[in-house]
C-alpha cells in the first residue's frame, strides 16, 4: 500500500443510531490520546483480541451522496478538516 493513499469505509446512516454514532465519535476521539488501543470482541463464546491503534487515524466525512471514487472522497475529506 502506498503512503498517503486514503482508504475509506462506508457506514450508511440507516445502519447506526444516534447513540451508537455518539459512541463511535467518542471512541475515535479518545483513541487519539491513547498510548495503545485494543479491541476485544466476544464471538460464539470466545474472545478475540486485536491491536487497533489505527482507530486514532479515523476521520469523519459526512455527505448525503455515496462516495464512489477516491478523488471524490479526497475532496470531501479535505473539506471536512
What pLDDT does 60 receive? 85
In a domain, 51, yes or no: yes
In a domain, 66, yes or no: no
The model's pLDDT over 12-71, given as tens digits with 9 standing for 90+, comes to: 888 899 999 999 999 999 999 999 999 999 999 999 999 999 999 998 887 666 656 566
The number of folded domains in the chain is 1
Q: Which domain holds residue 53?
A: 15-58
CA angle 14, 29, 78 (to 5 degrees): 75
In a domain, 19, yes or no: yes
Quickly state the pLDDT bin for 11 (edges 50, 70, 90): confident
pTM for the model: 0.67
What pLDDT does 77 receive? 62
In a domain, 26, yes or no: yes
In a domain, 67, yes or no: no
What pLDDT does 81 receive? 57
Amino acid at each position: 500500500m502506498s503512503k498517503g493513499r486514503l482508504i475509506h469505509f462506508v457506514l450508511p446512516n440507516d445502519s447506526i443510531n444516534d447513540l451508537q454514532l455518539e459512541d463511535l465519535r467518542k471512541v475515535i476521539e479518545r483513541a487519539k490520546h491513547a498510548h495503545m488501543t485494543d479491541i476485544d470482541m466476544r464471538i460464539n463464546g470466545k474472545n478475540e483480541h486485536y491491536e487497533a491503534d489505527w482507530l486514532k487515524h479515523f476521520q469523519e466525512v459526512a455527505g448525503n451522496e455515496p462516495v464512489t471514487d477516491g478523488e471524490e472522497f479526497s475532496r470531501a475529506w479535505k473539506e471536512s478538516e
